[in-house]
Amino acid sequence: MSSKRRSEARPEILEVNPPAAIPGGEFHIRGRGLARDRRPTVMFGSEVAPVIIGSDSLVIARVPEGAIVGEMTVGNGEATSAPWTCDIGLQIADNLHPVANPAIDAEGNIYATFSGSRGQKTPVAVYKIDLNYHVTPFVTDLMNATGLAFDRNGILYVSSRHDGIVYQVSAKGNLSVYVEGMGVATGLAFDREENLYVGDRSGTIFKINRDRQIYVFTTLEPSISAYHLAFGPDDYLYVTGPTTSSFDSVMRVSPSGELEIYYRGLGRPQGLAFDVQGNLYVAASIGGRKGIVRIDPNRKAELFVSGPNIVGLAFTRSRAMIVATNSALYRIDVNIQGKPLP
């Protein structure tokens, strides 16, 4: 084949979205000459990806379990495209059961739960993953660990949806009761004054000041799984809580407790976090596509990470995103600085 014929036959990738995925997630690849007369072949490094849809201008490919290299190519049977760089999540821990965001301490250690089903006593409630991704038990004597949050002093707080207690955890993993009577206690977040907010998924968000006085901050529709909380750069509290609707909302609560809809149109929204630019990232689906949705300050939403069973996320100081599924943790090097603690 002449060089001109090879050039004409070579597929060309013009656009790939979303920019990142974990194994099981899907990339939408748009371009020219992607298929020709046969089904295209998509590779991530040396790993072959399942092709869901294959046409000359659009290919949808699923990231295979073994993929760790972010160089994607498309072959049309006659030639192969130039590599396209995308971000692929690297699994750093498995055999977990997170139901919300992981938490990261000042040294970069990651904490994630093995929550278990309601009323299930698991051998380990919270695991610690160090900088070398060694996974060790951290908290053992706790049932249905749910939400995790660090305060400004580096103390870890854990909610239990079983007993309605929020616990403080020492550096050695020992528990002490911080506050009780929180109903079906799920999401946790601190504001600038170090008041702690606790989501009772039956319909209440509590505010607990540093003297441990308890207030009802706001009430909202009950959730079928958990409330997830995060403070935005505007000092408003942002809340998700999946309902039976497939068109759920991110809610925003003013410092005085006034509730409003911030964004509507997500499927099963769960863990959420902000970056320093004010973009909000939510574990959810949008337009039927599952993963992590990014909502910019103008409330424009798009899928940012594709992947199944994602329940939460957190940013590291090294500008990576830690993604929690319902059984594992992944690191994606997205080069995004997360919003620091209030």
The domains of the chain are located at: 3-88, 91-332
Give pTM, 2 decimals.
0.95
CATH (one of 3.40.640.10, 2.60.40.10, 2.40.40.20, 3.40.50.300) for 3-88: 2.60.40.10
CATH (one of 3.50.30.60, 2.120.10.30, 3.40.50.12780, 2.70.180.20) for 91-332: 2.120.10.30
User: How far is it, in rounded angstroms, from Cα 116 to Cα 94?
Assistant: 14
Backbone angles phi, psi at 232, to 5 degrees: -90, 175
Strands 301-306 vs 20-21: parallel, antiparallel or unpaired = parallel
Instruction: Please report the pLDDT score of residue 7 as a whole number.
Output: 54
End-to-end CA distance of the chain: 62
User: How far is it, in rounded angstroms, from Cα 256 to Cα 279?
Assistant: 23
Longest dimension (CA), the chain: 79
Residue 316 burial (C-beta neighbours within 10 Å; 0-12, 13-18, 19+): middle
Do residues 272 and 314 lie in contact, with contact meaning Cβ atoms separated by under 8 Å?
no
Per-residue pLDDT 10s for the chain (342 aa) are 444 444 568 999 999 999 999 999 999 999 999 998 788 999 999 999 999 999 999 999 999 998 887 899 999 999 999 999 999 999 999 999 999 999 999 999 999 999 998 888 899 999 999 999 999 999 999 999 999 999 999 999 999 999 999 999 999 999 999 999 999 999 999 999 999 999 999 999 999 999 999 999 999 999 999 999 999 999 999 999 998 887 999 999 999 999 999 999 999 999 999 999 999 999 999 999 999 999 999 999 999 999 999 999 999 999 999 999 999 999 999 999 999 887
Instruction: Please report the pLDDT score of residue 57 as a whole number.
Output: 96
Query: H helices of the chain, where?
Result: 3-9
Task: Using alpha carbons, list the distances in angstroms from residue 311 to 82, 143, 239, 246, 290.
Answer: 34, 19, 14, 16, 11
Instruction: Please report the pLDDT score of residue 8 as a whole number.
Output: 62
Backbone angles phi, psi at 338, to 5 degrees: -75, 155
